[in-house]
Amino acid sequence: MRPLIGISCCVKPFGPTGMPNHAASDHYVRVILGPVEGMPVLLPAAGEAISRELLSRLDGLLLTGSRSNVCPVYYDGPQHAEGTPEDEARDATTLPLIRAAIAAGVPLLAICRGFQELNVALGGSLDQRIQDLEGRMDHSTPADQAIVRVRTGKAHSVRVAAGSGLARLWAGLDYDAAAVPVNSLHNQGVARPAPRLRPEAWAPDGTIEAASIEGAPGFAVGVQWHPEYDWERDPLSRRIFERFGAAAEEFARRRMLNRALPSAVAAE
Ligand SMILES: N[C@@H](CCC(=O)NCCCC(=O)O)C(=O)O
């Protein structure tokens, strides 16, 4: 039986009345069914009820990318510029969910916005427009960029720390740790890393692009780029999902064992 992987949803307006819907990109569903070898379940942005009622039934958690931005109130940041997209329902769901998942050792993979949520959930802060900061690159891709290979193509390199969790995860693969090409579709980035956030990869301008979580009992990895766009042709992207899936599979096995144990003990 495949491990059950929760995928975070955004609340997005649909149809002529802008009816709020809970949505996630098909890329995330396909990557869970593909290299993760899991069974995807969409997690509505329904607040803390999701971590309270659903987390115990999940074997993994995928925090998705999104054009919307974590509300600054969660990291004592300045208000966003007028027109910056936000998604309070998603924040109210994912931030407690991340804390609960890490505490419970539920394998967690955080991508782009999900990576930023990971940092904020654990006490870190964000820069809201990296491109406006002295000496920093523009990491964004215009929302109206319709040419897929431009929108999701490789945009800059990242340097991966030797001996890091990411370096271990990519063991045996052929790549240059000083310059791993990645795509880039974000305006925001880690400003103050959370106390437990262990940065493991950086863009040439110093932007933190990947991290693991100190002391996390389970798999807990965040990346600022989008491996879900590249896994079918890029071994490094695929490996991230394979290792996440293996962690979820092991978590599922132990969860089933623990569920069987009480009755087995009682039967003795
Ligand atoms: N909004 C945040 C996070 C960026 C992010 O998750 N981008 C993914 C966009 C999805 C897509 O357009 O394919 C930021 O801007 O930093």
Domains of the chain, with CATH numbers? 4-267 (3.40.50.880)
Mean pLDDT for back-to-back runs of 10 residues, the chain (268 residues): 98 97 98 98 97 96 98 98 98 98 98 99 98 98 89 96 98 98 98 98 98 97 98 98 98 91 63
pLDDT of residue 172: 98
DSSP E strands in the chain: the ranges are 4-8, 10-14, 19-23, 39-43, 60-63, 108-111, 126-127, 154-160, 180-183, 189-190, 197-202, 208-213, 220-223
pLDDT of residue 142: 87
Nearest ligand 1 atom to the CA of 185 is 7
Three-point CA angle 230, 239, 145, nearest 5°: 15
Assess whether 88 carries a catalytic annotation.
no
Report CA Rg, the chain: 18
Q: Is residue 64 within 6 Å of ligand 1 at its C-beta?
A: no
pLDDT of residue 268: 60
pLDDT of residue 260: 78
Distance (Å) from CA 127 to ligand 1 centroid: 14
Q: How far is CA 258 from CA 122, 179, 232, in A?
A: 28, 43, 35
pLDDT of residue 259: 82
Query: Among 139, 156, 186, 226, which one carries the catalytic annotation?
Result: 226
Q: Is residue 113 within 6 Å of ligand 1 at its C-beta?
A: yes
Whole-number Å distance between alpha carbons of 228 and 114 = 13
Q: Do 159 and 168 contact (CB within 8 A), yes or no?
A: no
Distance (Å) from CA 120 to ligand 1 centroid: 16
Q: Is residue 126 within 6 Å of ligand 1 at its C-beta?
A: no
Which residue stretches of 22-124 are H helix?
26-33, 49, 88-104, 113-121
Tokens (6 digits) for 178: 């000083």
Q: Is residue 187 within 6 Å of ligand 1 at its C-beta?
A: yes
